[in-house]
Amino acid sequence: MQPGAGSTGFNNLFPDNEIVISGPGEIPLLKLFGIDAGSNFMLPDYDFAIQNKYIAPGFILSYNTSVGCPWKKCTFCPEKYEDNPYIQERYTKVTTELLFLVKKYNPVLVHLTDSEISPAMLKTLAENPIRVPWYGFCRFTKILTDIDFCRQLANSGCKMLSMGLESGDKEVLKAMEKGINLEEVPIILENLKEAGIGTYIYVLFGTPAEDRDAALKTRDFVAKHAHLIDFTNAAVFNLPVNSEEAEFLDTDNFYEGDLSLYSEFKHPKGWGRKEVRQFLKKDFSSVPEIREILNRVPPVFDSSHAPFFL
């Protein structure tokens, strides 16, 4: 890839670098060596790894059906600011390749590594079961409010869905441009639980629109629906350096190890990283219902091995 190629916003972060690759790197790297790789999607070859022992009950097959994010609006997410295009592989090709790879490698689990499995792809997977347990990341999408569809998804092999709730406060979700309906979340969680699909729920604290009261709403939302949540991850917000929000905040360099992808900032409501970390320790993790969920998260490998603990 020539200097300056790729996403303009992303490359501007590293003006002194000769080569910057934003998004998936396989195709651009091959082009650097004069190899025409053709499609953005190539059939994975795991022959080199199949006999290697690692800490899992068996081989985990990684496969992505798309690159980029179909939503790409969340203000906290680098996907928006890197501005890489969303490319969905053909549905028939996905199902054909998955069936071939499953037969070839006999995995104990399939990990769909998409930034988000789109609703259309979920429907395709439900209608074309691979008959092997699989999991991946998706949004709280309306299609999951249909219990019959959730049962069909479970029958296709869906073992767990990772989902970003981020906040239990409507105004914070609106400011994030998260695009989910908070009233639908309990319905979706109930449907997935009844269908036998595990959930790994992500929440995010310390965004510019949040304050302590909003964080407490998130805590209470998670605690109220704890019986429907299998695993959870509570993260502290990092501000993408080229985000729109950064233009209106008092920012500073974060630390050298982050490759300048994030900025430190003075929280407009006094809800800084220190306050958030104290909240997570004293007010979030201490709630018995939430602590029980956190204690179920597998150590070290967390979400990567969570499906084995359902």
Please list the rounded mean pLDDT of every run of 10 residues in the chain (310 residues): 38 57 71 71 81 84 91 84 84 95 95 95 96 96 98 97 97 94 98 98 95 97 98 90 66 59 80 94 97 94 93
User: Taking Cα atoms as reference points, which of 195, 70, 214, 193 lies closest to residue 139?
Assistant: 70
Would you state the pLDDT for residue 27? Answer: 73
Q: In the CATH hierarchy, which fold is given to the domain comprising 39-309?
A: pyruvate-formate lyase- activating enzyme (3.80.30)
pLDDT of residue 25: 72
Please write the tens of the pLDDT for every residue from 7-47. 444 455 555 556 666 666 777 777 777 877 665 567 888 88
Instruction: Tell which residue, 238, 239, 257, 256, has the closest CA to residue 248.
Output: 239
Structural domain spans, the chain: 39-309
* CA–CA dist 159, 148 (Å, integer): 16
β-strand pairing of 262-266 with 134-137: unpaired
Whole-number pLDDT of residue 8:
43
* Helix H or strand E segment including 263: strand 262-266
Model's pTM, two decimal places? Answer: 0.87
Instruction: Check residue 155 and give its pLDDT.
Output: 96
Helical spans, DSSP H, in the chain: 8-11, 26-32, 78-82, 91-105, 119-127, 147-155, 170-176, 184-195, 212-224, 273-279, 288-296, 302-305
- Residue 51's pLDDT is what? 79
Question: For residues 154-181, b (16+ Cβ closer than 10 Å) or e, as one string?
Answer: bebbbbbbbbbbbbbbeebbebbebebe
What is the rounded CA–CA span in Å between residue 41 and residue 310? Answer: 31
